[in-house]
Amino acid sequence: MRKSIFVCVSLLSFVAAVFADQITLKNGDHVSGKIVKSDGKTVVLHTDFAGDITIDLPKIAHITTDENLHVTTKDKKTVVGTVSGSDAELSVATKAGGTVDVPAANVAVIRNDTEQAAYEKSLHPGLLHGWNGGVSAGFSLARGNSETENLALAFNLVHPTENDKITTYLSSVYTNNALATPSEVANLIQAGFEYDHNLKGALFANAEAQFISNALQELDLRQIYGGGLGVHAIKSDSTTLDLIADLNYTHETYSNGPLVTPPTIPPTYTSYGVTNRFAAFTLEDDLMHKLGKSTILTEKLDFYPNISDTGEYQMAFLLGTVTKISKWFGWQNQFSDIYVSNPPVGTKKNDVILTTGLNISFPTTSH
């Protein structure tokens, strides 16, 4: 009986190995599974015993697959078929019956059918689909010896395609203390919109708009509109880093000036405050890095030196993490620091926002 069970188990293991992709390493080890994808440097293999594992391509002595893979070369040509070969050259047995030999050094991407379908959907997802991101919210209330309310909101949405990317974000903190004078302790909002379009190689065009309101700094609204060029300094599955240089126009209004009643044809209106308009440069970096399987770190720094007055500048910094708890829920932290070198008299140069709370993610897919 035990011998029969052993024979059955051995037979099943043999059958499973036969109907699986095989990778032989240069140290003599053999690994079986299903090849998911490759970026030309590493191979991701899905195994029953360890899930997805990543293998450096130079460590592979031989590889064979029993299912079709989509092999794309660096000159954008794609062949489909079962694959065999080594770290020097791959042979693709195409559906038409012919064999195409591809030098390993010329391989840009390898995808299985599932990865290829997802990639093709990502090329043209449509504006209503393909968004990734999440929203976090936090609220606190105190009564008794103190009477305070605090509301913190943050969201970040990204719509990436093969040729462009749309990003929009918001951070907001409002705190009120009824026993204090003034009662409004904090009221700060930062929001923005950015569009990137790939040009050639790592170069891309950039356009963005940013809006900031800060009641304690007497800033009614700062509007920054800019455009320029950027470069994808790092672009991998785990890390992306974009460096951007723009020219922008800034329009900002502070409510810290004397009342003014300009002569107008009716109706007469009353205004107050100081309005600044100036051109500036934008120097920016955008970073995204995966920390393990469940956490993503994002960082964004915008530096705005004033062209007409080189001693003046502004800065906006964002740092955040999202840790997945389940498919839809996670824990989000977002920190931002907004700095102005020449704030109104009596106000501080920088304001900090820290939001933390439950994150609700809502990726959408193409149809």
Query: Reduced to 3 states, what is the DSSP secondary structure of residue 88?
Result: coil
Residue 286, classified by CB atoms within 10 Å of its CB into exposed (0-12), middle (13-18) or buried (19+), is: buried
Return the top range by mean pLDDT from 18-22, 95-99, 109-113, 293-297: 109-113
Mind listing the pLDDT tens digit for each residue in 150-179?
888 888 888 888 788 999 988 888 888 877
Mind listing the pLDDT tens digit for each residue in 314-344?
898 989 888 888 878 888 888 888 888 888 7
Phi and psi at 320, nearest 5°, equal -145, 160
What DSSP letter does each residue of 264-311 carry, written as one string?
A: -SSS---EEEEEEEEEEEEEEEEEEEEETTTEEEEEEEEEEEBSS-TT
- Percent of the chain's residues with pLDDT above 90: 17
For residue 15, the 8-state DSSP code is: H
- Between these two residues, 10 and 207, which has the higher pLDDT value? 207
CB 41 within 8 A of CB 56: yes
Q: Hey, what domains does the chain have and what are their CATH numbers?
A: 2-123 (no CATH), 132-361 (2.40.230)
Rounded CA separation 296/293 (Å)? 8
